[in-house]
Amino acid sequence: MSRQVYINGKLVPQAEATVSVFDHGLLYGDGVFEGLRSYGGKIFRLEAHVRRLYESALAICLEIPMPEADMCQAINETVAANTIEDGSIEDGYIRALVTRGSGTLGLDPNRCSNPQVIIIADLIALYPQELYENGLEIITSSVIRNHPAALSPRIKSLNYLNNILAKIEGLHAGCVEALMLNHQGEVAECTGDNIFLVRDGALLTPPLDAGILGGVTRNAVIELARGAGFTVQEVAVTKHDVYIAQECFLTGTAAEVISVVKVDDRTIGTGKPGPVTLDLKERFHCLARQ
């Protein structure tokens, strides 16, 4: 069925949801975005996602033409306007993005006008259910994360070519996800998800200064783990740490919590989703649906 897409204060049919070919979001990836999830019709950690959207915009000197509260309201209205046969989207995915707007063929952002605010709501299934039951097999990509001195990984920009190249490498290897290292050879994150390891009952995950995006789902899982009595250490992680981990799992808005059972053809733990991963996966699902 046709979706309703929010563009600059109006909901329009998806076939009419267009932007100018001169928009710098299209020409140069000049813009920012957030991916959000709704559970039971309620958007998970809406304010945290919107705050990060505005922080990303501020970091690239992009002024979003509406206050955060209005953005939250627009996202809720877009979700409510998109229906399926049995009513509103119960478990959906939302993409909120802001482009620099239409400009010239040159780089100068001062020649752009009218930033475009676009919100899309739809259904999503990032991975097949069998992968949630059996776990992922991933590889380490040869494509490293962007150097943080060149582009801060905490900016969720429309330019995802770095991640896409790593994703392509993973797909060529028969994997739906790939692990990315930083410029120091340390584990950063996967192409779209944060990574956690389990060793001796403790959780290890790369810190923000490893060149990762501070994921909203990552933060929720850290809170849940600590609340359940697990030790969580945000420390530098190497491939050696990954290979000897007892469990490994990924977190992300679209992915939620999913186990990794093999990395670079090396079996992790028992080769099946482990008890800590399954426990945190269940806790996350309960939290998301509160």
Task: State how far the alpha carbon of 200 is from the alpha carbons of 122, 204, 205, 215, 240, in Å.
Answer: 40, 10, 14, 24, 15
> Are 230 and 224 spatial neighbours (Cβ–Cβ below 8 Å)?
no
Domain 129-288 sits in which CATH superfamily? D-amino Acid Aminotransferase, subunit A, domain 2 (3.20.10.10)
Domain ranges of the chain: 4-122, 129-288
| Residues carrying an active site annotation | 156
Structure tokens at 276: 């800590």
Distance CA 70, CA 87 (A): 24
Could you tell me the mean pLDDT of each successive run of 10 residues in the chain, 290 residues long? 90 95 97 94 94 98 98 96 61 94 95 96 87 97 95 94 97 98 98 97 96 96 98 98 98 96 98 98 94
Distances (CA, A) of 155 to 10, 23, 48, 53, 229: 27, 19, 14, 8, 32
The answer to whether the beta carbons of residues 130 and 137 sit under 8 Å apart is no
Q: What is the pLDDT, as a whole number, of residue 209?
A: 94
Q: Which fold has domain 4-122?
A: D-amino Acid Aminotransferase; Chain A, domain 1 (3.30.470)
What is the pTM for the complete model shown?
A: 0.94
Distance CA 51, CA 69 (A): 10
The full DSSP string for 91-123 is SEEEEEEEE--B--SSS-GGG-BSPEEEEEEE-
